[in-house]
Amino acid sequence: MKPMIYHFKDHLISPQKLDIKSIYVIAKLKQHGYTAYLVGGSVRDLLLKQIPKDFDVSTSAKPEEIKKIFKNCFLIGKRFRLAHIKFGKKIIEVSTFRAGEITSALIEENNIWGTAQEDAFRRDFTINALFYDPENQTIIDYVGGIEDSKEKILKTIGDPKIRFTQDPVRMIRLLKFKARFDFTIEKKTLLALKKCKKDIKKSSQARILEELLRMLESGSSETFFKLLQEHGLLFYLLPKINLFLKESKKIYELLKQADIYTCKHGSLSLDRSILLSCLVFPILEKKISDKDLNLFHISQEAKKTINNIFSPFFHLSRKIKINMISILTTQFRFTTTFKKKIKIPKDPSFILALQFFKLRAMHQKTFFKKYNIWHERFISSHKNKKFLSKT
């Protein structure tokens, strides 16, 4: 099958928008006789005039061959073998073209090497299966991804029911792209989503949690969680949150403020414990609203609420849980009656609690007076102020 080739005049992706390190990796692989392209999300985002977070490379070179070319290369994964090429803190992820059956009920082997065409047909959605060749500034399209991007359509590659059964996380990714780009979901893909949604819990909780966290960081979290609820996936993943949202929209209100903050500050994204607290705080607040509790007992209730919401499916790290308990508990310190002297606790996560309080104040303007008092007192109590701009 011959791919469609799109030249610069067709896609208008400026070479200045490309990542220098990824271009270097591609050029070096080509020097050694291998085929190599930019692939997936970076090509999609550039095509849609978005800023890519990562620039991944796909190549005909096998992982061990890649490692021989780059001294700064580390191979990772067993089920899905990848090469990570490190440039300081920056990592360029390089995958080898995959082959294999895409019509079976389950992909059991991910390390069968193939051609660029075979690799494209193994990917999830048409808009994610585009290759970009920086040498001649062309996009190579085996699956109709360019036309779908123009028509703003989300479509799986192959039978959507089989594709979702093979890897249910693709349903999360479908709604992720819907939230980010506001594309229309193709009819067959939408019907498959309805039929397969109950299979979502068969997936790795770690993979789903990472997708949820990335969407909380995306600036489109409110829309994304509304889509999860609308299409029934939230019922299976976070049933307590799904139930609460039937009665109250306070979680959406906090997510909206987090999105506003993220879109405004860009790289200064909110800590994940703050973002997860957006999902928990309204439930905790309702739970203890009619109880006269001190901060210690509130922290115990916060811990129980977090466990109740995320267990047994999701496993949050100990660090995130500790930070969330502190963030949630401190909110009730902020809103109590002021004394003449405000004492700033020696809690390293206090700044996170203050940032979360700012999100609440962005929605509930009456909190801004108290927020400003706490913020000023916090600044005056710290000599090292290099990180305070985040609050």
141 is catalytic: no
Q: How far is CA 186 from CA 7, 102, 105, 155, 337, in A?
A: 27, 20, 21, 6, 54
Question: Rounded mean pLDDT of 361-368?
Answer: 93
pLDDT at position 143 over 60? yes
pLDDT band at 347 (very low <50, low <70, confident <90, very high): confident
Task: Dump pLDDT digits (tens) for 166-201.
Answer: 999 999 999 999 999 999 999 999 999 999 999 999
Question: Rounded mean pLDDT of 135-160?
Answer: 97
Q: Which of 19, 45, 119, 124 is catalytic?
A: 124
pLDDT at 269 (0 to 100): 80
Q: How far is CA 164 from CA 2, 153, 158, 231, in A?
A: 27, 17, 10, 14
pLDDT at position 161 over 50? yes
pLDDT at position 280 over 60? yes
User: Strand, helix or coil at 236?
Assistant: helix
Lowest-confidence region among 33-47, 266-280, 370-384: 370-384
CB neighbour list of residue 217: distance below 8 Å, 6 or more residues apart: 262, 269, 270, 272, 275
167 is catalytic: no
pLDDT at position 389 over 60? no
Lowest-confidence region among 62-76, 113-127, 283-297: 283-297
What is the chain's mean pLDDT, rounded? 92
pLDDT at position 338 over 90? no
Q: How far apart are CA 318 and CA 166, in angstroms?
A: 31
Q: How far apart are CA 121 and CA 101, in angstroms?
A: 10
Q: How far apart are CA 362 and CA 359, in angstroms?
A: 5
Q: How far apart are CA 109 and CA 79, in angstroms?
A: 7
Question: Rounded mean pLDDT of 353-376?
Answer: 93
19 is catalytic: no
Identify the top-confidence range among 106-115, 305-314, 340-349.
Answer: 305-314
pLDDT band at 387 (very low <50, low <70, confident <90, very high): very low
Q: What pTM, to 2 d.p., does this model score? A: 0.90
Task: Dump pLDDT digits (tens) for 15-43.
Answer: 999 999 999 999 999 999 999 999 999 99
pLDDT at position 322 over 60? yes
pLDDT at 391 (0 to 100): 56
Q: Which of 45, 56, 119, 259 is catalytic?
A: 56
The CATH superfamily holding the domain 1-151 is Beta Polymerase, domain 2 (3.30.460.10)
pLDDT at 293 (0 to 100): 86
Question: Rounded mean pLDDT of 322-339?
Answer: 87
